[in-house]
Structure 1
Amino acid sequence: MISGKDCSGRKAQKRLRLVFRATYFVVSLSKKAARHSASAFCPILQRAQSYVAIDIHPANHHNLDFEPFLDVDRNVLADLVKDKNFDDLNKYGGIKKLAEILETDEKNGISGGDYSIKKRVDEFGSNTYKRAPVRSFVSFLWEAMKDSTIILLLLCATLMIGFGIKQHGLKEGWYEGGSIIVAVVLVLAVSAISNFKQSRQFLQLFGESSNIEVEVVRDGRRQATSIFDVVVGDIVCLKTGDHIPADGLFLDGHSMKVDESSMTGESDQVEINETQNPFLLSGTKVMDGYGHMLVTSVGMKTTWGQMMSTVTHDTNEQTPLQARLNKLTSYIGKVGLFVACLVLVVLTIRYFTGHTFDKSGKKEFIKGHTNTNHIMNSIIGIITAAVTIVVVAIPEGLPLAVTLTLAYSMKRMMADHALVRKLSACETMGSATVICTDKTGTLTLNQMQVTEFWLGKESLKEKRSLEISSDVMELLKQGVGLNTTGEVHISPSCDFPEISGSPTESALLSWAVFDMQLNIQQLKHAYEILYVEPFNSEKKRSGVLVRNNDSRIIHVHWKGAAEMILAMCSNYYVRNGMPIGIDGQEKRQLEMVIQDMACRSLRCIAFACKRLTEESQLGYEHLPDTGLTLLGFVGLKDPCRPEVKDAVESCRKAGVTIKMVTGDNIFTARSIALDCGILKPNEDINDAIVEGATFRNYSPEERMAKIDGILVMARSTPFDKLLMVQSLKQKGQVVAVTGDGTNDAPALKEADIGLSMGIQGTEVAKESSDIVILDDNFNSVVTVLKWGRCVYNNIQKFIQFQLTVNIAALVINFVAAISSGEVPLTAVQLLWVNLIMDTLGALALATEQPTDDVMDKKPVGRTQPLITKIMWKNLNAQALYQVTVLLVLQFRGSSIFNVNKNVKDTLIFNSFVLCQVFNEFNARKLERKNIFEGILKNKLFISIVGTTVVLQVIMVEFLQRFANTERLNWGQWLACIGIAALSWPIGWLVKYIPPNSE
C-alpha cells in the first residue's frame, strides 16, 4: 500500500513490483524456501521501504497473494493423527514446528481475521460432515403407496373403471372408479406432504443439536465459536467434559486423559502428553485435566468424519407412546378387518340371492338375465366398500398425530429455550413425578462474585484491609493465579483485562486482578508449573505444584470446598504473616466462619499451601494433602433467580416434587432451598435435608423409606446423585434430572429424562441428556414440563376424536350392510372422512399450546392407561349419539325429509362429516366444560376447521359425480348442522357425570 509520501511514487511502485515478482519466483522454487517465505521476504520489504512507505504488518501479508501452506502435504497431515504416526510428525519437525508451518502462534492462535479463516477452509476443508441424501417427497409418497389396503383400493378402482367403461362407455363409465383414484391420490398426497415437512423439521432440529460451541484462541483472544467453524491451525481450549471437535495435537496442558472408546472400543482412559501420546481424535471425550490442542484436520479428513459419512440421523425414531399407539392401531385394524370381511360376505350373499336393488328399484342380480360385466362390476363395488371400511377403521392417524405433535412441540420448545435431542423425552416429561435439580446456574443466576475474604478468623471486607504481609499476599496470588483453569487476556485496545473460564474461576480471578492487583503474565513468567491435579467432583478440590524460577522454592497450592481444605491444614496465617497452629478450639472457630458464610448463602472456597524442598517433591504421584497452612477463605455470592420461587411453586401445585442435589455444604444448601421455596420455613425441615455421605450409608430399606421425604442433598458426589435417581425409580417415580458437568452424566443417563445445561454444560453432559436447557434456567425446566404434559394431552385428545369416528363408521356401515344390503357411505366419502380424521384432525388437535391448567393435575406416572375412563366416557357418548342419528336417517331418513334415496345418503354423509367437525371442538378439552377456552389463540385449529367445512360444501354442492352426492337445500343443510351441533350439549352434559360413577 503506497502512502504517497514520496514524490516519485510511480517509480517506487514499479520497482517494488519487480522486487515482489523476483522474490516470488525465488521462494517458489522449493518447498523448503516457501516454508520460510514470510520471514525471508520481510527483509526485502524493509529494504523496499527505503523507496516507498509500505505496510508490512503480518496481517497484511495475504495482499502478496502467495500460495499458502506449500510445505504441507494434506493427506499426510490428515493421516498423522488418525494413524498416530510419530514419523510423519518428526518430518515436520515436531508439534511446534508444524504450528509454524500452519502459520499458528502457539500462544495467540491464528491471526489475519476472516481472510485467514477462509484461506484455511479453502485449503483444508470445513469442519462439517457429508450426510446421506435427504429423503425426497417422492420417497414419502412411494412409501405411503406401498400400503396393502391402498394398493387393493387402487386395483379395485382400476377394475371398476375398466368394467364401467365397457358397460356404460367412456363418457360415463369411468366416474365411480376414477373418483376413488382421485380420493386415494388426495389422501396419499396430504399424508406424504405432512410426513415430508416433519422429516425436514426433524433434520433441522438434529442439526441444531449437533451445533455445539467450543473455545478457540484467535488473535490472542480466547473466544467461543461453533464446532463447524473450527479450522486447521486453530488452537482449541479443552477441559474436563469437552468433546474434541477435530483431529489435532496436544500443545500444552496438565493431567489430560481422554476416553477414546467411541473410536477404538477400548474403555480405558488414554493419557495425553507432548512426548509419548500427543494425538487427539475428534469425537472422543476429555475425562480429566485440561490443555490446548492444535487442529491438524477437520471434517471429512478426520476419522470421526469418515465414520459420520456412513451414519444418518434416524428421523423415524419410535417413541414409547408411538409403540403403544401402534399396538392400539393394530388391534383396531384387526377389528376393522373382521367387520369388513363380514360386510363383504353379507353383501355378496345378499347380491347373489337377489336382495339388493339398483336406483330404479329393480333387483341387481337375476339369475340368467344379468350380464357378466354387470356382475363383475357389482362384485368389485362390494370389495371396494369392504376395503374402504378397512381403510377408515385402521387409525393410521394415531402415530401421525404423535409425529405432528412432537414436531410442533419441538419447534416451539426451541423458542422456549429447550432443545429436544430425543423424541421420547417430550412425552415422558409429561409423566415426570420428581425433578432432581442441581443448584448453580439452574436455581441461581450463576453470576459469581467474591463478596468476602477472611484471613483466618479475621474478616477483610474492605480493599484497604488487604494490606497484609507481602509473603501471604504473594502466596495468595499464586494460589489464585496458578491454580486455575481460567484465563486473563490483556488487550492493548481494551482498558480492562478479559477474564474467561467457569463462573467460579472468573470470579476468583477478577477478585485477584482488581482487588489484589495481580499481574497474571508476570506471575506465570516467574513460576513454573510442575504438576497439576485438576478439580475432582468427589474430592471437591484442585491442586498445583509450582517452582519459583529464581529462588527454586517449591510450593503446593490447594483450592476447594472450605471444610475439606480446612481438614488438610495444621496452621493458618494471620495479617503479619505468622502461622498459627490449629488446635481443637481454633478449628471450631474457623468452622464457625465457614458455617456463618454458608448460612448467608455464600459459597465458601478456601486456599491452602505448603512449602516443599525439591528433593521431597521428587517421586510424588499425587500432591501432598496434609500439614498445609490455610491462606484464607473467600465467600462467593450467587443469588437465586427471581423467577425460581414461582416455578417451584408451580411444580408443587402440579404434583411434581423438586429435590435439590448440590455439592455445597449443608448450611448453604438449606439457605438456597429456603430462598427457592423447595423448603418451607414453617415445615419440619430436619428430615428433608441430608448429606451425601449419610445418604449413601443408609441401608437399602432405610434409604427406600426416607427417599420420598428428602428434598435437599448437600455435599453430594456423582455416585450419590445416581443412587438417588435409582432409588426414586425403584419407588415407581418418573424422574427428571438436571446437570451440567461430566460428573452428572451417569445420573442424566439413568434418569427417565435427562436435562443438561446449554451454557455451562459440558458436551459429555449434553450427550448424556435428552433435552438441553439453552438458558440454564429452572424456569425453562418447568416450561419443558408444561410442554411434555401438553404433548401427552394433545395425543389423548386426538385418540378420543379418532376412536369416536372409527366406532361410528364401523357400526353404521356394518348395521346397514346386514340389514339393507348396502353401505350408506361410499368409498370416496369414507376416504374423505379418513382424510379429515387422520391428517387434518391430527394437525388441528396436535397444535394446541400448553395452558396453565395442565399444571393443575397430578402427573400420570408410569401405570396410568393411555385411554382414561374420562376419555371412554366422552367418546362412547359421542359415538352412541352419531350411530343413533345416522341409523335413524338410514332407515327413516327418506320419510322424515320426504326425499329419494340419493338425497337421503347425502344427508347421512353430510351429517356424519359435520358431526366430526363439531366433535373436534369437544375433543379440545377432555375434562373442562368450556370447549371454546383459548380457541382464538390457535389460529391453525380455526383455519383447519374452516377449510374442512368449505371443502365439505364443495363436495356436496359441486362435486356430485365425484363424491356421489346430491345438492341439498337450505332446510336440509340447517337440519344437518342442527344434528351435528347437538354433540356440543351432549359433551357438556357428559362432563357433569362425576368421575367416581364411571
Structure 2
Amino acid sequence: MDFNFNGLNEEEVTRSRELNGNNEIIEQKSETFLKKFLGNFNDPMIKILSVCCILLLVLSLFGIIKMIEPVSIAMAIFVATIVSTLNEYSSGKKFRSLQEEANKILVKVYRNNNVKEILIDEIVVGDYVLLNSGDKIPADGIVVYGHFKVDNSVLNGESDENPKQPVTDDTVLDDKIDFTHPNKTYRGAVVSHGEGVIKIEKVGMQTVNGIMMQNMNIEDTPSPLQIKLSDLAAKISKIGYMGAILIGILNFLYTSLHLNDPSVFFTAANSLEIAKTALNSLIYAVIIIVMAVPEGLPLMIAIVLSQNMQKMLKDNVLVRKLVGIETAGSLNILFSDKTGTITKGRLEVILFQNGSFDSYKEYAEIPDELRKLVNTAISKNTSSMIAENGAIIGGNSTERSILGFIDRNEIDDNIEVKTKQVFNSTNKYSASELDSNLNLTFYKGAPERLLEKCTTYYDNDGNKQAFTKKPDITKVIDDLAKKSIRVLALTVSDKKLTEDVVPEEMTFLGILGIRDDIRPEAVKAIEEVMTAGIQVIMITGDRKETAMAIAKDSGLLTSDKEVVLTSDELQTMSDEEIKKVLPDVRVIARALPMDKFRLVGLAQELGLVAGMTGDGVNDAPALKRSDIGFAMGSGTEIAKEVGDIIILDDNFQSIEKAVLYGRTIYNNIKKFLKFQLNINISAVLISVIAPFTGVQNPLTILQILWINMIMDTLAALALGGEPALSEYMKERPKSRSEKIVSKSMSTAIFWTGIWTTIISILFLKLDIFRNLFADEIHHLTAYFCLFVFSGLFNGFNVRSDKINVFSNLSLNPNFLKVFALIFIIQIVLVYIGGEIFRTVPLSVSEWLVIFGLSVLIIPVDMIRKLIFPAKTYNK
C-alpha cells in the first residue's frame, strides 16, 4: 500500500474517547447469583412447597409437630433452587469467557504516524484502521483507501460479497443504515478479498451492533414446561386443598365418634378435647397437602437439566439458560439459517468433470495423468497462495476454494509462471503462461467465454481427443446451474498469452463445480428432526433458485405441495394468509430481519413452540422472541447474548442433539411424575377411605413425611439419569397448550394408584393378612414397608411404556443403585425407628410376605400396558 496516514496522537485518542466513548459492546447486565437464586423461587412447585413449609414451621414452633418436618421440606426447596442456580450461573460464566475471547481481537490502526496493534475495545472515533483479507471490521466506518470486498452475512444474512471503495470529494453520505453501500462498513462484517483503510465514525454502543443490543428488551417467553408445570401445580393445589379439608373433617369425625360416649364428647365441658382433636385433624390435613405435592420435582428437574447440560457441552452445545434444554424437546417448528448451519458456510469444489463426461467428487479420484494437468491448471493460475502453515490465504473465496481442491503436495515448484492476466469482470477469466517444458497457457473462467474456443479435450490419460460433444457439456453446465452450482471452465492453449484475447483452438481440460455445499451430517440430522414431527423452514438471504436447490438436496423440499416464499411475497400477504399457508412452507428466500421476527410471532400465535437459529445482528430480534434461540458459536456478540443455546460448531446436527436431550428431559420428568403421583394419589385415597373401614391413620404423619422425603429426592436421582433414546425422536412434538399429564399418563397413575389403594385396604382389614403377623404393631410396620416397596417396584414400570420393564436398564446404572439404597434405608429404619416411626423388627417370613405383595405391582401394570398400549410415535 503506497499511502500514509498519520493517525491520531495520544491526546486526540483521549479526547475522542471522552467525547464518543470506546468501542466496547456492553452486554445486557447479567443477573447476580443472588438474583438468579431468588428468581428460581418463582417456580410453581417451589411456591406450593414454600406455603407447606411455612404451615409446618408454624405448627412446629408451637410444639405440635417436630421441627424436622418443616426442615426436610426447606432442604428440598433449597437443594432444588441452589442446583438450578449454580448450573445457570456456571453456564453464564462459560458464555462470558467466550465473549472475553472475542474481545481480545487485535486490530491494526494508525497512531502517532505508525501502524500498531490494539485491542478492539480500544478503538475510538477518528481512528484509521488497516484491513486485510480475513479481518473482521471492528467498528462502523467509511472507506478512505483501497478496494476490497466484505461478507455481510452476519449483518443481513446475504452470502454475496459486497464491494467497497473509497469515498471521494463528491460522495454524499447520510445516516441511513445500508450494508451494501460501497463506502460504508459496519462492525462484524468480514473482509473477504482485498485490502484498505477505513476511518471510524461510530464505536461501541453507537454502532449497528450496539444499537441492536440496546433494543433487545423483549420479554422472555415462558417455556412450554413452565406453562405445563404451572397448570399442574394449580390442579395439585386445588385437589390437595380439597382433599385436605375432606380428610381433616373425616379424621375429626372418626376420632370423636369412636369415643366411649360421643354424645358426652360434644359438650362445652369438653371444649379443650374438641380443640385438640380439631388441631390434630388440621395437622393431618396439612401433611396431606404436603404429600399431594411432589416436592422432588423441582430437584429432579434441576438434576436432570444439570446432567444433560454437561453432556450437551461435550456435543458442542452450550446451554445458557437451563430451561432452554427442555424447550428444545418441545419444538414444533424450527426456522433455520442456511449458511454455516445446513451448508458448510464456505465455498468448495464439489466436482470435476472432464470432456469424457467422467465426474469426480474428490481430487484423488482423478486419473494420474489428467490429475497432473488439473493440479498445474489450478496451482499456477490463482490469486491465492499457500502459507507456511498450510493455510490458504489471499484471493477471494472462490479462488481459495479452488486451490483447496488439489493436493498441495503434488504441486510442481519447478514450474514457473512467465506472465499472467488476472480475472476481471469484463474478460471473465484469468490466465497464466508457464515457463517450463510444458510451454502452455492455462485459462480459468466462465464457460460461456472459454468453451466455444475449444476444439479438443484431454482424456483420462492426458491425450488430446476431438471435442465433438460440446453441446452435451453445455447441458451439464445448465443442469448444475439449476442446482445453484457455480461452474468454471479449465482450458489449455499451446499459444503464448496475449492480453485480453482468448485464443482459438484451445483444449478443454474440464469444469469445476463450486458451491457452499451441504453438510453431509446435516442431511441426516434434518431427516431426524423432520421425522420427529418438527417442521423445518430454511430462511436465507439467497435468491429463490439457489435456496430451492439447497432445500431439495438437503431433504427439506420433497413434494410440489410444499411452499417456497420470498420476502417480497411475504410483504404482500396478511398475517391470516401466512398462518394458513405456514404448515406447508419450507423455504423463505431473500429474507429480511423483520420477516424472521414476524414468522416466529405468527407461529406462536398458532400455539406452536418456535425455535430460531441465527448468527447475525439481523437474527437477534427473532432469536429473542422465539421460544428457544439457537445462536451460532461463530456469530455476533448480540446473537449469542440473546440466544438460549449456543451451537459451538454451527452444525445442524448439534441442534438435533439438543432436541433429543430436550425430549429425554421431558420424558424423564413424566416418568418421575408417574412414579410420584402414584404414591401421592394412593396415600390420599387411603387416608380418605381408611376411616370408613375402621382404620385410623394407617400411616403416621412422620411416616408420610419420610415416604415423601426418600421417594421424592432419591427417586429424582434415579429417574433423572434415564438415557437419551433415539426412539424419542419418533414421538410427535408437544403443543404449547398440551397438558404434561396426558391421558395415557393419567391411566397409568390411577391404575397403579387404585391397585396400591386396594391392596392396602385389603392388607389392613383382611384377617388372612393380619394373621400372618405377630400383632397389630408388626402388622402396621409391615404395611409401612409394603407401601414404600410397592412404590419402589412401580419405578420399574414407569421407566418404559414397554412390557419389558428392564429395557435399557444397563444405560442407567444409578437406577438400581439408588433403589437398592432406598430398600436398605427402609429396612434399617424398621429396626431403629422404634416409637418415633411406629416400627418394630420383622421376622424373615414377615419380610417375604411384604416383598411378595409389593412386587405384584409390576405384573398388574403389565396388564394395563396390554389393555391400554401407549401411542407414542408419529404415524
What is the TM-score when the length of structure 2 is the normalising length? 0.67
Quote the Cα distance in structure 2 between the aligned partners of 1:902 and 1:506: 85
Aligned equivalent of 2:89: 203
Q: Find out whether 1:976 has 2:859 as its counterpart.
A: no
Q: Find out whether 1:420 has 2:420 as its counterpart.
A: no
Q: Find out whether 1:718 has 2:591 as its counterpart.
A: yes
Give the CA deviation at 1:881: 0.6
What letter corresponds to residue 687 of structure 1 in structure 2? D
What letter corresponds to residue 21 of structure 2 in structure 1? K
2:480 to 583, 597, 617: 597
Cα pair distance change 1:71/1:599, threshold 3 Å:
closer
Quote the Cα distance in structure 2 between the aligned partners of 1:346 and 1:390: 15
Q: Deviations over 1:921-946 (max 9, x none)?
A: 21111x22222111122133333222
Q: Find out whether 1:346 has 2:250 as its counterpart.
A: yes
Quote the Cα distance in structure 1 between the aligned partners of 2:543 and 2:371: 26
Contact 1:718/1:744 (8 A) holds in 2: no
Q: Deviations over 1:151-194 (max 9, x none)?
A: 22123233336xxxxxxxxxxxxxxx43xx22432332243123
Q: Find out whether 1:382 has 2:297 as its counterpart.
A: no
Cα pair distance change 1:781/1:322, threshold 3 Å:
same
2:698 to 821, 824, 830: 824
Give the CA deviation at 1:148: 3.1
Aligned equivalent of 1:636: 514
Give the CA deviation at 1:874: 0.9
Q: Find out whether 1:194 has 2:77 as its counterpart.
A: no
Cα pair distance change 1:251/1:940, threshold 3 Å:
farther
Give the CA deviation at 1:293: 9.3
Aligned equivalent of 1:546: none
Aligned equivalent of 1:394: 293
1:989 to 858, 863, 869: 863
Q: Higher relative CO (CA 8 A, sep ≥ 6), structure 1 or 2?
A: 2
Cα pair distance change 1:321/1:731, threshold 3 Å:
closer
Q: Find out whether 1:850 has 2:733 as its counterpart.
A: no
5 Å matches for 1:242-281? 269=177
What letter corresponds to residue 77 of structure 2 in structure 1? S
Name which of structure 1's ranges 398-407 and 687-696 shifts more when overlaid on structure 2. 687-696
Quote the Cα distance in structure 1 between the aligned partners of 2:27 and 2:612: 31
Contact 2:567/2:589 (8 A) holds in 1: no
Give the CA deviation at 1:781: 2.4
Give the CA deviation at 1:375: 7.2
Give the CA deviation at 1:677: 4.9
Quote the Cα distance in structure 2 between the aligned partners of 1:422 and 1:138: 14
Q: Find out whether 1:930 has 2:826 as its counterpart.
A: no
Quote the Cα distance in structure 1 between the aligned partners of 2:653 and 2:90: 25
Aligned equivalent of 1:81: 20
Cα pair distance change 1:689/1:814, threshold 3 Å:
closer
Give the CA deviation at 1:246: 9.8
Cα pair distance change 1:941/1:78, threshold 3 Å:
farther
Give the share of equivalent positions with the same residue, in percent: 28
Give the CA deviation at 1:786: 1.5
Aligned equivalent of 1:321: 225
Cα pair distance change 1:672/1:736, threshold 3 Å:
same
Quote the Cα distance in structure 1 between the aligned partners of 2:218 and 2:603: 32
Give the CA deviation at 1:836: 3.3
1:991 match: secondary structure: helix
Contact 2:142/2:201 (8 A) holds in 1: yes
Give the CA deviation at 1:808: 0.9
Aligned equivalent of 2:680: 806
Q: Find out whether 1:758 has 2:633 as its counterpart.
A: yes
1:152 to 41, 55, 58: 55
What letter corresponds to residue 205 of structure 1 in structure 2? S
1:336 to 233, 240, 246: 240
Quote the Cα distance in structure 2 between the aligned partners of 1:753 and 1:130: 20
Contact 1:453/1:635 (8 A) holds in 2: yes
Q: Find out whether 1:499 has 2:393 as its counterpart.
A: yes
Give the CA deviation at 1:799: 2.3
Cα pair distance change 1:572/1:82, threshold 3 Å:
farther
Name which of structure 1's ranges 722-731 and 965-974 shifts more when overlaid on structure 2. 722-731
Contact 1:241/1:765 (8 A) holds in 2: no
2:792 to 917, 921, 933: 917
Contact 1:401/1:846 (8 A) holds in 2: yes
Contact 2:328/2:628 (8 A) holds in 1: yes
Aligned equivalent of 2:560: 687
2:225 match: secondary structure: helix
Quote the Cα distance in structure 1 between the aligned partners of 2:475 and 2:15: 62
Quote the Cα distance in structure 2 between the aligned partners of 1:846 and 1:854: 16
Contact 1:329/1:396 (8 A) holds in 2: no
What letter corresponds to residue 203 of structure 1 in structure 2? Y
What letter corresponds to residue 70 of structure 2 in structure 1? V
What is the root-mean-square deviation in Å for CA atoms of aligned residues? 6.5
2:656 to 782, 785, 789: 782
Contact 2:316/2:648 (8 A) holds in 1: yes
Q: Find out whether 1:941 has 2:815 as its counterpart.
A: yes
Cα pair distance change 1:411/1:452, threshold 3 Å:
closer
2:514 match: secondary structure: strand
Q: Deviations over 1:649-688 (max 9, x none)?
A: 43454344555555377479547734x5556xxxxx6726
Quote the Cα distance in structure 1 between the aligned partners of 2:53 and 2:711: 17
Aligned equivalent of 2:501: none
1:903 to 762, 770, 778: 778
Give the CA deviation at 1:718: 1.2
Unmatched 5+ stretches in structure 1: 1-69, 85-124, 162-176, 222-227, 261-266, 482-487, 518-526, 528-540, 542-560, 576-587, 607-631, 680-684
Greater gyration radius? 1
Q: Deviations over 1:685-711 (max 9, x none)?
A: 672677655993898699778765665
Quote the Cα distance in structure 2 between the aligned partners of 1:298 and 1:944: 57
Give the CA deviation at 1:983: 0.8
Q: Deviations over 1:540-563 (max 9, x none)?
A: x9xxxxxxxxxxxxxxxxxxx999
Give the CA deviation at 1:647: 3.4
What letter corresponds to residue 814 of structure 1 in structure 2? V
Quote the Cα distance in structure 1 between the aligned partners of 2:858 and 2:232: 27
Aligned equivalent of 2:765: 891
Quote the Cα distance in structure 1 between the aligned partners of 2:130 and 2:279: 72
Cα pair distance change 1:855/1:243, threshold 3 Å:
same
Quote the Cα distance in structure 2 between the aligned partners of 1:814 and 1:776: 56
Aligned equivalent of 1:442: 341
Unmatched 5+ stretches in structure 2: 1-8, 110-117, 156-174, 359-369, 414-421, 426-444, 455-470, 490-509
Cα pair distance change 1:131/1:777, threshold 3 Å:
closer
Name which of structure 1's ranges 647-656 and 182-191 shifts more when overlaid on structure 2. 647-656
- Number of matched pairs: 754
Aligned equivalent of 1:624: none
Give the CA deviation at 1:445: 4.3
Q: Find out whether 1:409 has 2:348 as its counterpart.
A: no
1:718 match: secondary structure: coil
What letter corresponds to residue 393 of structure 2 in structure 1? I
2:647 to 747, 764, 773: 773
Q: Find out whether 1:791 has 2:665 as its counterpart.
A: yes
Give the CA deviation at 1:421: 3.8
Quote the Cα distance in structure 1 between the aligned partners of 2:660 and 2:684: 36
Cα pair distance change 1:499/1:466, threshold 3 Å:
closer
Quote the Cα distance in structure 2 between the aligned partners of 1:646 and 1:949: 44
Give the CA deviation at 1:879: 0.5
Q: Deviations over 1:718-777 (max 9, x none)?
A: 149748777877877655454445555566566654434324x44454456443322233
What letter corresponds to residue 313 of structure 2 in structure 1? M
